[in-house]
Amino acid sequence: MILTITPNPSLDRTYEVPALDRGEVLRATAERMDPGGKGVNVSRAVAAAARRTVAVLPLGGAPGALVAELLAGQGIEVAPVPVAGATRSNIALAEPDGTLTKINAPGPELTAAESESLLSTIRTHAGAAAWIACCGSLPRGLAPEWYAELVARAHRAGARIALDTSGPSLLAALRERPDVVKPNAEELAQAVGRPLATVGDAVKAAEELRTYGAGSVLASLGADGQLLVSGTGTYFGSAAVAAVRSNVGAGDASLAGFLAAGGEGPAALASAVAHGAAAVQLPGSVMPSPADLDPSAVTVTADVPLDRPLTEPAS
């Protein structure tokens, strides 16, 4: 079982529009409503592969009830933590060329009692988990050190932790030695405080995160591929993609594929790349099923192209 933690989940509405014309009335050609949040997406991708997952979520108000209902309809066990504030609702506008414009609401402010209830619920389910995936930004009311406390408690319970967050929350948690961290290129650059222009720059930054405490670093480099930097080696993975439809949740699908394949080594990286490549070809934040994956399109190598420029340099 893979346990996911999403401290600030959402109800996501995605509209596909012919073009994003500011100040004009836009008519959507398609729309979707999905339960959202990075950990939620990981659970959705795990469930799409017919594997058991439990999603721990602080939920409140009508949007929270709808998130729980949508997840249950996808075969995902929900461990809700009732909160007084309403779960946030987000909007995404997707253009035909893959450009995505997102409006993310701040979400409710959690009280100290709600924070402790969230940690207690995680502890209740941690013993049955092969992995615990802690994902996304922290809501108002939770200090940047909250993830660090969660990682410490989970390790005391003997659980393996994958952490997908950024900024002060990531840096604070590294001292508790999470087993895997999953930044994208921009988050990786932010963590080390310098721009990344090449794949080699990203490798050096990932190695630096390991010196700070990360066991392994699974770094998403967008269209350029993914890196895995660990104590047993450094690997680079990429996949051909016919057309990008939406990149919402692609990194979350990658993390789900990585953990479902064991969470270490080149085979797990290949699974991560296949899941991410499949996700960007699906609408909205739809998570890929096994039928959507194309392992034959994936290349993983220990011969990392260090001098290759990043398509979108990170700073």
> Is 179 marked active-site?
no
Among the options 252, 292, 303, 307, which is catalytic? 252
CA distance 109 to 310: 37
What DSSP state is assigned to residue 158?
T
How far the first Cα of the chain sits from its last, in Å, is: 36
The sheet with strand 180-181 has its strands ordered as: 77-82, 53-59, 2-5, 131-135, 161-164, 180-181, 216-220, 226-230, 233-239, 298-301
The Cα-based distances of 18 to 21, 82, 97, 99, 200 in angstroms read 9, 39, 9, 11, 38
Residue 32 tokens read as 């979707």
The Cα-based distances of 106 to 89, 90, 137 in angstroms read 9, 9, 10
DSSP string, 101-127: EEE----PBPPHHHHHHHHHHHHHHHT
Please report, as a single letter, which amino acid is at residue 224: D
Torsion angles phi and psi, residue 22, rounded to 5: -60, 135
CA distance 72 to 66: 10
Catalytic residues: 252
